[in-house]
Structure 1
Amino acid sequence: MVSHRDKELLRDDVRAQGMKLTAAHRESILKPYLPDPSELPRRSPQRWRKTSPRKTPIRTFLKSQLHQLTYTLIHILFGIVVRLIQSYHAVVDRIFAIVYYHHRTPELIKKDVKNLDRLPEHLSIVLSLRKEEDALTILMDEVAELAAWTVSAGIPVLSIYEKSGVLKLYISTLHRIVTNKLSAYYGSPSQQPALRLFAPHHPVYQPLDGNSTEKSNNNSLIVLLLSATDGRETFVDLTKTLAEMSQNGKLSPEDITMELVDAEISEITTQPSQTTSSTSVGNKPAFDPTISVKPEPDLLLVFKPLLKLDGYPPWHIRLTEMYCTGDKTNIMAGYAEAVEYQGFLRGLWHYAGAQMRFGR
């Protein structure tokens, strides 16, 4: 404890800004309160030992090793389970591919689906453009196969969603490839279903030939091509159009309702333009280009390991049943799955067994 007298002397010196006491006088006042320098070497090791870090005990080391071992065992066990599930799905897929194979015969496809409680009236497929040299050729061949399976199963409408929209640039080529694929299933052109192919803001493409009259009596297939531009961009364009009409007095703000927006979007994205891209032979009349497409698909198939929609128009899938055909255990995969018949068939089985609650 510092004495009261020494405290007052030091305080008076501080107030006088060090003018009252000399340096020697201040040292003499503080010296009784300072430790003896001769004791410092003896006491310093003790202080150093108090401030030095503690050594890691053996139990802390064993605990960390136990945690590492547990973590490793969990990863190994999880990896084994995932590989077993993947192997199981791969074996089941191969068995289905052997047992249920269409052999390019529409009758076999009808036989595979005849016992289903219901079939979708509008089937939609999400496909991806692969990163290969002949990616476009592979994509068109997949569309052709899906079209043949769809019409053979008795489904009248098929919509194909491909994000980039590259198929819209080759509608005539795609129509020719699909027609050739149908000939492999049905034989002569007179036995083939009538094929109508179009995309939003595009006319119906249907070259007419001498067998058009006979085709009109057979099953028909409507193929709709969708892309990412039919999603957000269409909604933005419609919003701008309605806003301009309201500003110009052509449309009252009270008339812009959800029903109006829904009707406009459905008409824009599921109806072709008024003109029809078709050619006829001789003086035979052209096939009726009237298109009636259910706006929302009943079933959406995604040929990927994950249920990734890639910007699919959201107003088309409010009540749509979705099914992913790929291996759902491969959570890191982002590539496209091969379009195979057993995946298509499993999607129809899933839709037939689904319970449609519609929000109830």
Structure 2
Amino acid sequence: MDVDPITRGNRFCERFGGQFPVMLAPMAGACPPALSIAIMKAGGWGAAGCLMMQPEQIAAWADEVRSAAGSAFQLNVWIPETAPRPEPDREAEWRHFLSRWCDTPAPDPLPSPLPDFAAQCEAMLAGRPAAISSIMGVFPAEFVAKLKAAGIPWMASVTTVAEAKEAAQAGADVIVAQGMEAGGHRGTFDQSAAEATQVGLSSLLPSIVDAVDVPVVATGGIADGRGIAAAFMLGASAVQIGTGFLRCTESAIPSSWKDAIGRALPEETILTRAFTGRAGRAIDTAFARTAARPDAPQPAAYPWQRLLTQPMTAAARDDDDIDRMQAWSGQSGGLAGEGPAGDLVENLWQAAREHLSAARSRR
């Protein structure tokens, strides 16, 4: 924190790209090209969450966005764990439980769960983004070497100071500090500890800034100019926003999900494993509440739980039914703006600059 916040943000953009340091979070299944293109044309960063994308889909996304708006985008992937063995008894419990919510059961046996990670990594390299980011762990050393050789920065998402130090030591160029307020999946390296290691952004961010020697991006619970300014005052060099962009015109999520985000108070989101087997923050819907009851079955491990609930969540999107939907949302969803994403990102950064300038003038 050796320079004022606005200068720090400008330096981040000079080094990594974009006109101002406001980034779309890479949300798997919720980052259509149109959303990134609109944000990038206005001066921010685009993003794609590549978790479930095949290599050819990654290439197509990157080509479409680059041809329309340049290369100021990140491509993101989860670091895989060894897939756990199927649990037939637990799967049977969940098939029975889910029959109350959806007429279409998941296939039996469940299909092959995930795209090939190594092939996804090669496709991300070929996509020539401004950065490649990770979550839930660190990239293998051999892929880090490929990133360095290609001149593509690695942005590593973390949820604790210990994880930040580990990622920096592994060669990360930027640390993305994810506070517990964030919507969607927790980026905890040890997924068994996701509920036990929840740290709010206002505590996590300055601690990580003090612990590493690389720029830090703040994410989690940021949805307006006040949140952006606060993050910069705590040492961030950029911010990453997910839920705050989901109500935009270019967002492809169903209308009931957009409406629910706009209504949600911070305490009306919950951390749940019921949708995927991994802890994620979502709107407190009827299904999420019922799955949290003591008499509900314990979720299967990831990715089997995601495959079990997929028919229900797909039907919910088709029917625009929020009660069964996998409706991820951060705790600041109620602050999320509407309208064109380009207008929103410009207004967010302008409001943040005004707050920062006002704070500086009061010194």
**TM-score bin, normalised by smaller chain:** under 0.3
Bigger share in helix: 1
Q: Which has the larger radius of gyration?
A: 1
TM-score of the superposed pair, with normalisation by structure 1: 0.26
